[in-house]
Amino acid sequence: MQRKFLTLLATTAIVGVAGTAVAKDIPVGNLIDFTGNTAVVGKVYGQAKIDAMNYVNANGGVNGKLLDFETVDYSYVVPRAIATYKKWKGKVVAIQGWGTGDTEALISFVAKDKIPYFSASYSGHLVDPMGKGPKTKKAAPYNFIMGPSYSDGARALVQWAAEDWKKKGGKGKPKYIHMGDNHPYPNAPKEAAQEYAKELGFDVLNAIQYSLAPGDFKAQCLSLKESGANYAFLANTSGSNISLLKSCDTVGVDVQFMANIWGYDENVMKAAGKAADGVVWVMGAAKWGDGVPGMKTVEAVSKMSDPSGNTYRAVHYMRGVCSVFYMKEAMEWADKNGGITGPNIKKGFYKQANWTPKGLEGVCPAATWTPDDHRGFNKVFIYQGHVKGDTAAGSVGELMGNGTIGMSKVGESVIPRKPEWLGW
């Protein structure tokens, strides 16, 4: 029997839809943002998690046990996430989370309560389980991130920029600038990337602040233009970046934009048009339609909310699916080794190295978590977006299909798990 239900918070209107639920099987909390400042990407990733958990339940569950998951749209508001967590405490054995501000705020809570927290925030502050890193703020033994940390992603982009400068025959020191809101998420990789840029010979300029909420950013773009920057790292999510790219195109900014893993995708290319052409960003998994074995599973997962199979899924969808399937396999191990409890699920993440979930080969990058290092992914894939025509006519899927928009791999970096980089 399947049933769907709405979850409400006193401080929010609608909250989201949860899927198949059989009481007292495996209770899981699922935080999403469908209505807040990160909803442009949150809707894609959140739907992927819902679809993936419904798919797991429709295909035998976890060793026959179903995921009893509750989905809450907290609108990217930290106090709402904390209130939701307090409601879930003592009831769920794992949480599929979302944002940086809320995930970092809950580090000590989930550690004390021994609830594995699979975050869609890839903040470097979440990867030091023992608290040994020289710049670690808090030990995070129960936090797992489902991609390269924001810091490692930014370091990979800095590496790419250094090589790109050489290939272009650049003279003197290239200039690097960080752009983003004064918020835990865009600030997470700021210091790490700036220090690494200096190490690689960049002249690091003063950061420029722009809001996570979309707006008119011509003033910031004029400041960027006057700075003479060669490479600008966009640390906000894609909704804000659409506005930024449009504004900078209007004032004639000539800079190589780079974006974090949530800062660019197919929807940015459609919405920003030619202003989005050439942006380089971090990719965390295969893209929709790639000819890899695991894409068949992703397509089947997608049909949980789109039975027609016609909906195009942006790049973040694949990572949402991967997050759920890693959790599922850790739960399967736990079930056979003492039961599906928080501590046992946590142990399940340490039992394999270079690990890709079954059925998702080629989609999810290989992961290795250890008890003293939760930097599960240190390989970073770098892609560049291409906009070759008018994006106003046609859906994202149609534009990708006819080549009006597209993406190509331009680099790959393996970021060493240096002890001094652990936790920031």
The average confidence (pLDDT) of the chain is: 94
Asked if 155 and 241 sit in the same domain, the reply is yes
Note whether residue 357 is domain-resident.
no
Mean pLDDT, residues 385-414: 97
Burial status of residue 274 (CB atoms within 10 A of its CB: 0-12, 13-18, 19 or more)? middle
Over 90: is that where the pLDDT of 381 sits? Answer: yes
Note whether residue 140 is domain-resident.
yes
The answer to whether 255 and 223 are in contact (CB under 8 A) is no
Note whether residue 361 is domain-resident.
no
Asked if 83 and 165 sit in the same domain, the reply is no
Residues 238, 228: Cα–Cα separation, whole Å: 24
Mean pLDDT, residues 380-403: 97
Asked if 72 and 208 sit in the same domain, the reply is no
Over 60: is that where the pLDDT of 21 sits? Answer: no
Q: What is the pLDDT of residue 14?
A: 28
Asked if 193 and 246 sit in the same domain, the reply is yes
Residues 133, 66: Cα–Cα separation, whole Å: 38
Asked if 274 and 407 sit in the same domain, the reply is yes
Q: What is the pLDDT of residue 6?
A: 36
Mean pLDDT, residues 188-213: 98
Asked if 128 and 175 sit in the same domain, the reply is no
Asked if 102 and 175 sit in the same domain, the reply is no
Residues 263, 229: Cα–Cα separation, whole Å: 19
28-38, pLDDT tens digit by residue?
Answer: 999 999 999 99
Mean pLDDT, residues 396-422: 97
Asked if 163 and 234 sit in the same domain, the reply is yes
Over 50: is that where the pLDDT of 5 sits? Answer: no
37-67, pLDDT tens digit by residue?
Answer: 999 999 999 999 999 999 999 999 999 999 9
Mean pLDDT, residues 141-162: 97
Residues 407, 286: Cα–Cα separation, whole Å: 12
178-190, pLDDT tens digit by residue?
Answer: 999 999 999 999 9
Asked if 40 and 143 sit in the same domain, the reply is yes
Of the chain, the percentage scoring pLDDT greater than 90 comes to 94
Note whether residue 157 is domain-resident.
yes
Q: How many domains does the chain have?
A: 2
Over 70: is that where the pLDDT of 4 sits? Answer: no
Over 60: is that where the pLDDT of 19 sits? Answer: no
Note whether residue 70 is domain-resident.
yes
Q: What is the pLDDT of residue 183?
A: 96
Widest CA span of the chain, in angstroms? Answer: 66
The answer to whether 156 and 413 are in contact (CB under 8 A) is yes
Mean pLDDT, residues 205-213: 98
Domain that holds residue 259: 151-287+379-421
Over 50: is that where the pLDDT of 419 sits? Answer: yes
Looking at 348, 368, 397, the residue that finishes a domain is 348
More confident residue, 68 or 11: 68
239: tokens are 């909704």
Q: What is the pLDDT of residue 291?
A: 96
Over 80: is that where the pLDDT of 338 sits? Answer: yes
266-324, pLDDT tens digit by residue?
Answer: 999 999 999 999 999 999 999 999 999 999 999 999 999 999 999 999 999 999 999 99
Asked if 198 and 214 sit in the same domain, the reply is yes
Q: Which of 138, 5, 23, 16 lies closest to 80 in space, CA to CA?
A: 16
pTM value is: 0.93
Note whether residue 281 is domain-resident.
yes
Residue 178 maps to which CATH number? 3.40.50.2300
Q: Cα–Cα–Cα angle for 355, 357, 362, nearest 5°?
A: 85
Split at pLDDT 50, 70, 90, the class of 24 is low
Asked if 325 and 413 sit in the same domain, the reply is no
Over 50: is that where the pLDDT of 13 sits? Answer: no
Q: What is the pLDDT of residue 294?
A: 98
Asked if 144 and 182 sit in the same domain, the reply is no
Note whether residue 364 is domain-resident.
no
The answer to whether 156 and 182 are in contact (CB under 8 A) is no
Q: Which of 6-10, 195-199, 200-204 has the weakest average pLDDT?
A: 6-10
Residues 163, 316: Cα–Cα separation, whole Å: 27
222-258, pLDDT tens digit by residue?
Answer: 999 999 999 999 999 999 999 999 999 999 999 999 9
